[in-house]
Amino acid sequence: MALNNYRALPSSSCPSQGKSNHVPLSPISFLERAVRVHPDRTAIVEDDATFSYQSFYQRCRQLGGALQALGITSDRVVSTLGMNSRAMLEAHYGVPMAGGILNAINARLDGASVAFIMAHAETRILIFDRALRHTVAAAMALLTTPPPVLIEVEDGSGKASPWDLSTPHDYESLVKGAPPCLPVSPEEESDCIALNYTSGTTGNPKGVIYSHRGAYLNALSNTLTLKMDDRTVYLWTLPMFHCNGWTHTWAVTAAGGTHVCMRRVEPARVLEMIHTRGITHMAAAPIIMTMLLDRPEAATPLPHPVMLATGGAPPNSATIARMSALGFNVLHLYGMTETYGPSLVCQFQPEWSTLTIEARARLQIRQGVGTLAIERVALKDPVTHEDVPADGQSLGHLMLRGNTIMQGYIKNPEATLEAMGRGWLDTGDIAVMHEDGYIEIRDRAKDIIISGGESISSIEIEEIMMSHPAIREVAVIARPHEFWGETPHAFVVPASETDRPSEAELLSWCREHMAHFKVPRHVTFQASLPRTSTGKLQKYALREQQKNQMATA
């Protein structure tokens, strides 16, 4: 039979064919299915209150109706500024149900940054937590564009203070009083469902465009990667404003699981909820793992295994080993805002089970292989675009291709072309590929240290130094050197201020455990390291600190 016989009939011969075999993909369908299949199952737990999928779905439709009444139509932006709450989850469904685009703003930004994002996104409505009203007031005072309609969420932080610019609507009253909308389906699955702004550490943040299709596929990929099902009880320790919670806002619902909201991550409460709420899954930056291990409760093994997905910064093997001993199944992921969150996973291999916890942890710190939603992963020379050998030593730029790569940067075609113009998303990360095909990040392109012509991975030094029992955290950056060009400079958080090694003792230990040219020439002890709200090290802040140190030396 000729190949053409396997292809679809032309639409003219079967006008209704497209309706029967093509529906634009959208994660909103996950909630619509959940309410059909298990309407009475617990969808959300917030404090002591529980909400069924039927209630969740109804409230999302009412939120959509309220937003439409306030002027939200197709492609209008609704921003949120809040922590992990039921209202934030409802916005992930109610906003696109109304036909709008969701822009979840980092709740830890200052007023000027919030004002820039709202102006750039042309925000029509802002839903915000009452505890953040002062940030909102500061942002509103700086806006030079028409101000958005304000909707305030009661979050237990106290009575709202007077507003100088406008009086916000009350979220709960607005939702309860609105007629439910008829959910709007996207005309094309490539239509925008969300805008997520990058951190903007080297300039203004860029608005990353997420499509309904990409969000749908990444969410399903996550349900499989994290082995979610209808028994999943997911604790929200990952900010929902970060890549829409790595699309777990939609993934947990796709699995028919339960969302357990936690506005503020308190390590003692996290461990308590694992025991009392039966938490099965959570996601967190490596710093959260360190905080959990610092708690005295961490001496007691968990009552059941908990899948913990981590990313944002490479974890060290010592931390993974300790978490594994406690009862956490640590799954290392890699991703970025431009990839809807997770795009690589350190897929656990059965033969690793026979290894010691320490040996297994050294494999688990690798970033791994592409998730199901990523079609191709490659390490390429950034100039020639040739693949580099998979020998565990040759460095190349990590590049990705697939259906969960952003649509581009809004209003920024130049940056879009720079990132994706050669048919791959250039992540800007420097990595090696091992013979088994697993990727291991060695550094950001801007963080690699070139000393006497040798490339030194700051992450490699950090990994080795973290095995010292007196070190709690460490970050390594390049320090200018007249002869070598650059040498490593380590910023160290000691495990104990009263019993920390001297700089000389620590450097002597380093010389025993790494090649001498990699040993830091300088060590700075301090109480903490600067991090973003999602746990990423802010090495640019350390560079500024170093610059000031050198200027006053």
Name which of 166, 79, 151 is nearest 120 in CA terms.
Answer: 79
Task: Give the model confidence (pLDDT) of 122-143 as tens digits.
Answer: 999 999 999 999 999 999 999 9
- Using CB atoms within 10 Å of the CB of residue 39, give its burial: 0 to 12 exposed, 13 to 18 middle, 19+ buried: middle
pTM for this prediction: 0.83
Q: What is the mean pLDDT of residues 179-194?
A: 95
pLDDT at 16: 61
- Is residue 9 predicted with pLDDT exceeding 90? no
Q: Enumerate the domain spans of the chain.
A: 24-39+51-210, 265-444, 449-552
Spatial CB neighbours of 498, under 8 Å, sequence gap ≥ 6: none
Highest mean pLDDT among 5-9, 190-194, 353-357, 527-531: 190-194
Higher confidence at residue 11 or residue 354?
354
Higher confidence at residue 545 or residue 312?
545
Q: What is the mean pLDDT of residues 439-467?
A: 80
Task: Check if 24-39+51-210 and 449-552 are the same fold.
Answer: no
Cβ atoms of 473 and 452 closer than 8 Å: no
Highest mean pLDDT among 108-112, 115-119, 459-463: 115-119
pLDDT at 94: 98
Name which of 121, 115, 122 is nearest 136 in CA terms.
Answer: 115
H/E element, 337 = none
Rounded Cα gap, residues 494 and 527, in angstroms = 8
pLDDT at 24: 94
- Within 168-283, residue ranges assigned H as helices are 171-176, 212-225, 243-246, 248-255, 267-276
pLDDT at 498: 83
449-552 placed in CATH 3.30.300.30: yes
Percent share of the chain, pLDDT over 70: 92
Look over the chain and give the mean of its residue pLDDT values, rounded to a whole number.
Answer: 90
Percent share of the chain, pLDDT over 90: 67
- Is residue 396 predicted with pLDDT exceeding 70? yes
Higher confidence at residue 282 or residue 552?
282
Higher confidence at residue 39 or residue 535?
39
Task: Give the model confidence (pLDDT) of 151-161 as tens digits.
Answer: 999 988 776 65
Q: What is the mean pLDDT of residues 548-553?
A: 86
- CATH number given to 265-444: 3.40.50.12780
Pick the range with the lowest mean pLDDT from 51-60, 199-208, 402-411. 199-208
State the sign of the Cα–Cα–Cα–Cα dihedral 321, 323, 327, 331: negative
- CATH number given to 24-39+51-210: 3.40.50.12780
pLDDT at 360: 87
pLDDT at 520: 94
Q: Which two tokens stand for residue 326?
A: 């406690």
pLDDT at 32: 97
- Within 393-468, residue ranges assigned H as helices are 413-420, 458-465
Q: What is the mean pLDDT of residues 459-471?
A: 89
